[in-house]
Amino acid sequence: MKNIKILSAVVIVAVTFMSFNGIEKNKETEKAEITAIFDDCVIDLEAQLEASLKMDQLNANDIQVVEINEEIDLGFDAFEYLPIGFNAFAGTDISTQDFEIFENEEIVELGFDSAAYLPNEFNAYAL
């Protein structure tokens, strides 16, 4: 009976040590995966930094703007519905004189005379 207890204790201890060994191997594989992901991120970061440095050296005259004019098919001829001599670009030379600016200032009523609390000859708009 004593031998069976010792044998079962030895088996339990061996299984326990094997499970710890498996945990260590699992931790090592996880660490290797995290290191690989980190290395990929560092490589991506370095590539982005190099690209941003190249963008700083970019000359504005080197940029070419490409405009794509796409025709829109409405399913009917829009010119049939426009008046004769219609010019869509007529009147596009708008200046600031074409606009009227209205400034409506609201009068704030405080409920008391504020002049009594201000210095003599006080001007809020003085420079």
- Please state the domain count of the chain: 1
Mean pLDDT of the chain: 76
- The arithmetic mean of pLDDT across residues 90-110, rounded, is 76
**pTM to 2 decimals?**
0.23
**Is 123 part of a structural domain of the chain?**
no
Q: What is the DSSP letter of 87?
A: -
pLDDT of residue 39: 74
**Is 80 part of a structural domain of the chain?**
no
- Given a cut of 70, whether residue 20 has pLDDT beyond it is no
Q: Which domain holds residue 37?
A: 2-62
**Is 44 part of a structural domain of the chain?**
yes
**Is 34 part of a structural domain of the chain?**
yes
Residue 38 structure tokens: 């980190």
pLDDT of residue 79: 81
**Is 7 part of a structural domain of the chain?**
yes
**Is 120 part of a structural domain of the chain?**
no
pLDDT tens digit string along 49-86?
A: 777 777 667 677 777 888 888 888 888 888 888 888 88
**Is 85 part of a structural domain of the chain?**
no
pLDDT of residue 70: 83
Residue 106 structure tokens: 């609201």
**Is 126 part of a structural domain of the chain?**
no
